[in-house]
């Protein structure tokens, strides 16, 4: 079991007293702690109920903490969990409880379009849970194992305005194309070869794949041809000319990765950027909070989505938001009614906006026309990159991939090309083709 690297902010114990006057909540997001504490203070003033917030990081430490606490019947009343993943794992294990009977259609209508049922166990999710390597055995069709708390998307680039200016770049507007982004990298790297490059937490190799390469591929090829990369038609799938074109563009980043990027975790990469060790950082809408926590003023950042190439098919390329984290209730809690009251409070528009401003993380609640006013200037600029429909890349949609597709396996192949230079784009294309074929053949 991983060592408990903690981060505790209040009493770190498990389930509350059982009289509904005190709740405990655990999160894996240190950047959410102060915002949750502020919410808890307001909640207490309204209800008299105290909520004690504790954070356990990084992710594997949080997981170990929850599992060991469950074994001793001491899990917190409420958990913030990874949506569409960890919520299913904990629910299938019986650690968290089914919310389907508590969250009706009217309740769900407060969430961003397409996110309300992220925690729902559909028949497809149930069928997938029956497979030998499934991580969520035990789930049942119809269960609702979490409700959305934060939402956002991947594929957001953060640039250091001071480094842009020093390299002679106008930092007031985002680059108009992928090619212009590469020219910016050439300029910042030329100005400062040690600290003028780009970083990303490539220790988790899937980040390069689904935070950078996939949005680039979607924009370049358009939605149908992008989906075809993962299909069975070899003239259009990985190994094809389309795959080669995508990889050659992505490989343009290779000269500009900051030294050692492939060894950095996500938090490490964000910290390196905040410390001025890179001019660019690729992440998601959630990254700005981590950068701020590491000491960088958000006003010093220019944030923009992965820019579309000049020859992009998806002319109105946008990023589709999806639920990132969810709220789940422990099956061991003696304070279920109070826990549900806390969930309801956290996801009301006014409170969700207050949380967003304090945590610099977008809420799963739909704030409607008041969004810009409620979330503040830094997050509202990111919302401009959001979109829905055919020209919006949705990293939460994997329905067009083989059911056994593993982004970590594919990410490992991509990292061998960039930044490691062990493969060229052609060899990478062929290895992805072999993997894609094996997925579809069930091997």
Residue 7 β-bridge partners: 55
Are 26 and 329 a contacting pair, CB within 8 Å?
Answer: no
pLDDT for position 311: 94
Q: In terms of pLDDT, which residue wins out, 396 or 192?
A: 192
pLDDT at 2 over 50: no
pLDDT digits (tens, 9 = 90+) for 135-155: 899 999 999 999 999 998 899
Q: Cα–chain-centroid distance for residue 40?
A: 25
Q: What is the pLDDT of residues 285-342, one digit of tens each?
A: 889 888 988 999 989 999 999 999 999 998 788 888 889 999 999 999 999 999 999 9
Q: What residues have CB less than 8 Å from 299, skipping those under 6 apart?
A: none
pLDDT band at 360 (very low <50, low <70, confident <90, very high): confident
Mean pLDDT value of segment 156-184: 96
Q: How confident is the model at residue 391 (pLDDT cuts 50, 70, 90)?
A: confident
DSSP state letters, 284-302: ETTHHHHHHHTT--GGGEE
Nearest by Cα to 386 from 220, 57, 151: 151
Which tokens in the block code for residue 308? 């579309």
Q: Pairing between strand 280-284 and 154-160?
A: antiparallel
Structure tokens that stand for 184 in this block:
């910016």
Segment 86-102 shows an average pLDDT of: 97
Contact 375/362 with Cβ under 8 angstroms?
Answer: yes
Say if CB 329 and CB 339 are below 8 A apart: yes
Give me the half-sphere count of Cα atoms (radius 13 Å) on the Cβ side of residue 272: 28
C-alpha span between 434 and 426 (Å, rounded): 13
Q: Rounded distance, CA 352 to CA 342, Å? A: 12
Q: What is the pLDDT of residue 222?
A: 95
- In which element (H, E) is residue 425 found? helix 425-441
Give the per-residue pLDDT at 18.
Answer: 66
CA-CA distance, 263 to 420, in Å (whole number)?
A: 11
Beta strands (DSSP E) in 234-340 are 280-284, 301-305, 318-319, 322-329
pLDDT at 5: 37
Q: Which residue has the higher pLDDT, 183 or 405?
A: 183
- Residue 402 has a pLDDT of 83
Please give the order of strands across the beta sheet that includes 198-199.
198-199, 280-284, 154-160, 301-305
Structure confidence at residue 403 (pLDDT): 75
pLDDT of residue 15: 55
CB 243 within 8 Å of CB 433? yes
Would you state the pLDDT for residue 382? Answer: 72
The pLDDT, as a whole number, for residue 6 is 38
Helix (H), strand (E), coil (C) string for 328-392? EEECCCCCHHHHHHHHHHHCCHHHHHHHHHHHCCCECECCHHHHHHHHCHHHHHHHCCECCCCCE
Token digits of residue 182 = 């590469």
pLDDT 10s digits, 411-437:
999 999 999 999 999 999 999 999 999
Distance of CA 103 to the CA centre of its chain: 24
pLDDT at 389 (0 to 100): 77
Q: How far apart are CA 12 and CA 8, in angstroms?
A: 6
* pLDDT the model gives residue 443: 62
Q: Is the pLDDT of residue 4 over 90?
A: no
The count of other CB atoms within 10 Å of the CB of residue 315 is: 9
Give me the percent of the chain exceeding a pLDDT of 70.
Answer: 95
**Which of the four pLDDT bands, split at 50, 70 and 90, describes residue 1?**
very low
The predicted structure's pLDDT at residue 10: 41
The predicted model gives 37-58 an average pLDDT of: 96
Per-chain mean pLDDT for the chain: 91
Average pLDDT over residues 32-41: 97
């Amino acid at each position: 079991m991983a060592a408990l690297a903690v981060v505790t902010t209040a009493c770190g114990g498990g389930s509350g007293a059982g009289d509904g006057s005190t709740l405990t909540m655990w999160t894996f997001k240190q950047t959410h702690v102060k915002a949750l504490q502020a919410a808890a203070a307001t909640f207490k003033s309204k209800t008299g109920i105290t909520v004690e917030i504790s954070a356990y990081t990084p992710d594997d430490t949080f997981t170990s903490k929850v599992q060991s606490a469950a074994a001793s019947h001491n899990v917190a009343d409420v958990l913030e969990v990874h949506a569409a993943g960890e919520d299913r794992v904990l629910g299938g294990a019986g650690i968290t409880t089914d919310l389907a009977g508590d969250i009706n259609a009217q309740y769900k209508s407060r969430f961003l379009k397409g996110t309300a049922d992220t925690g729902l166990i559909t028949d497809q999710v149930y069928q997938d849970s029956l497979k030998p390597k499934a991580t969520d055995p035990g789930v049942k069709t119809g269960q609702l194992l979490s409700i959305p708390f934060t939402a956002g998307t991947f594929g957001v680039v953060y640039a250091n305005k001071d480094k842009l200016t020093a390299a002679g770049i106008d930092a007031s507007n985002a680059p108009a194309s992928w090619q212009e982004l590469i020219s910016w990298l050439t300029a910042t790297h030329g100005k400062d070869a040690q600290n003028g490059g780009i970083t990303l937490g490539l220790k988790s190799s899937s980040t390069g794949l689904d935070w950078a390469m996939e949005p680039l591929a979607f924009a370049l090829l358009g939605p149908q041809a992008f989906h075809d990369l993962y299909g069975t038609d070899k003239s259009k799938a990985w190994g094809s000319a389309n795959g080669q074109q995508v990889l050659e563009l992505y490989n343009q980043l290779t000269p500009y990765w900051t030294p050692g990027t492939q060894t950095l975790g996500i938090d490490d990469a964000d910290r390196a950027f905040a410390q001025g060790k890179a001019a660019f950082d690729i992440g998601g809408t959630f990254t700005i909070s981590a950068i701020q926590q590491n000491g960088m003023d958000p006003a010093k950042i220019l944030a923009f989505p992965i820019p579309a190439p000049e020859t992009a098919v998806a002319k109105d390329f946008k990023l589709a938001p999806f639920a990132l984290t969810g709220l789940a209730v422990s099956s061991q809690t003696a304070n279920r009614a109070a826990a549900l009251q806390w969930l309801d409070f956290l996801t009301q528009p006014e409170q969700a906006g207050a949380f967003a401003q304090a945590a610099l993380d977008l809420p799963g609640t739909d704030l409607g026309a008041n969004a810009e006013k409620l979330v503040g200037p830094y997050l509202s600029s990111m919302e401009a990159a959001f979109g829905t429909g055919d020209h919006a890349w949705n990293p939460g949609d994997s329905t067009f991939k083989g059911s056994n597709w593993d982004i970590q396996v594919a990410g490992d192949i991509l990292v061998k090309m960039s930044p490691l230079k062990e493969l060229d784009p052609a060899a990478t294309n062929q290895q992805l083709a072999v993997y894609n074929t094996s997925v579809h053949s069930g091997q």
